[in-house]
Structure 1
């Protein structure tokens, strides 16, 4: 799909502005203390009052700036688009980290046209770290004024990241997947925030990332970051209720895909 770069940049600028404001609110609420609002799929899968408040802020800003755009967020009902653009939002990605005071959490905002894999613009902001990762399709991926690039070679093995679902019934399968990829790995990281994992692949801080069961708001923004940094992002086994996402530089992505496809 051909995209008008100025439009993508305009969407990127809006995503950046809102992500900073939303991140500041999340940081303020964390400093004041976290209130648990609910659990979702399991007792371990939590929602804080801040998740809902931050998403409400993001949605209000988007409604004011881009009336008619669609909305798909983790904490509120979806809205259909009349403009062809849908905003895919995770108000606090890494909620468990957030609740525990671990700084690896972020606000993830993507503007999508068409399929969720086809983001036009993205912002992933980690407020506790004050790091802002951004991208516009065709315009590269950036951390501040530093252009990002995925790693090209992994002579000592790949530094990989993954995550596990909250349902204990899935843990044996996830651990089996880890065992399959470890021959390719230098080491493994498990940070608990999918959008940051993807941003770190884009920045070359990680060589690759794989995980089952992500929702669109988990990967829409981070996936664009990886692609615009020269990497490859794919989703496999999409007919299942826990599809696999794989993100890495081209050569490593091919090797990971060969290993992970064997389990499907």
Structure 2
């Protein structure tokens, strides 16, 4: 079943909004921790499982021949050349505590290329969306990155893993970076961090370890807003830790100088 990027964006928006509504309702009913992942503090809630199940059911109703990759469930193999990459709740710890920065993230990949995405706020009314070649929006209004100032004047978003040894490495790198930028912000949701770069409310984002469901939808949004996204090799090898790379997002004009600074401060090889 072929589709244009715009059509896939509309599917992402439809199922993303439905999933966010479910997660919001479950949050109002109370949150139960269902499991943990990389550490005792890296939690999965009942709502993560229920929201991903809804995403899978609705995507297969609307696009029965597509593949699905999700954070909490088994992969589904399709035949259409379209793969959906979904994160039912990006920012689960925020969700658990009732902090507003959490979202549902839905991306469409066509023949290996990310072509559409939606990031829908759960505890806040914000919806980011994009389709390849058709721009990016926040709540339906076009967005774009802000021009990059010198590195020393940039506001940088970041995040941390949940393993103590991983966090120690990340904090060492940030301690070197912090005196060389305007400031650091950590809100706890990779997709929303990248969307802040896309809408001009931040200048850059860096974090080691996020996986495709964390960043795929936001990467489309950033690219359509005039930004550049990449996953670069890290510098630290820790026992039992397979780094999935250092995720970096900036406006196009700010990429080279920021990546140079990440090398200098130990983030990137």
TM-score by length of 1: 0.93
Please tell me whether the aligned partners of residues 42 and 162 of structure 2 are also in contact (alpha carbons under 8 angstroms). Answer: yes
CA offset digits 1:195-224 (Å, max 9, x no partner): 010111101111110000011100100111
In the TM superposition, residue 92 of structure 1 has moved relative to its aligned partner by 0.4
CA distance in 2, matches of 1:153, 1:252: 5
Is 249-258 or 52-61 further displaced after alignment?
249-258
**Equivalence map 1:56-67=2 (5 Å):** 56-67=53-64
Runs of 4+ with >6 A deviation: none
* Counterpart secondary structure, 1:76: coil
Q: Does 1:246 align with 2:248?
A: yes
For residue 19 of structure 1, give the secondary structure of its aligned residue in structure 2: helix
Alignment of 1:85-234 (within 5 A): 85-115=82-112, 118-154=113-149, 157-234=153-230
1:2-21 matches, cutoff 5 A:
7-21=4-18
- Conservation of the 8 A alpha-carbon contact between 1:180 and 1:259: no
Larger CA deviation: 139-148 vs 160-169: 139-148
For residues 113 and 237 of structure 1, the distance between their equivalents in structure 2, rounded to whole angstroms, comes to 25
Distance 2:176 2:187 in 1: 20
Deviation of 1:41 after TM superposition, in Å, equals 1.2
Quick one: which of 77, 81, 85 aligns to 2:78? 81
Q: Structure 2: where are the runs of 5+ without partners?
A: none
CA shift at 1:31, angstroms? 0.5
Contact 1:246/1:256 (CA < 8 Å) preserved in 2?
Answer: no
3-state SS of 2:137 partner: strand
C-alpha displacement at 1:236, in angstroms?
0.7
Q: Is the 8 A contact 1:36 1:47 kept in 2?
A: yes
For 2:140 and 2:105, how far apart are their aligned partners in 1? 19
Q: Is the 8 Å Cα contact of residues 41 and 166 (structure 1) preserved in structure 2?
A: yes
8 A Cα contact 1:181 1:256, kept in partner: no
- Alignment of 1:72 onto 2:69: yes
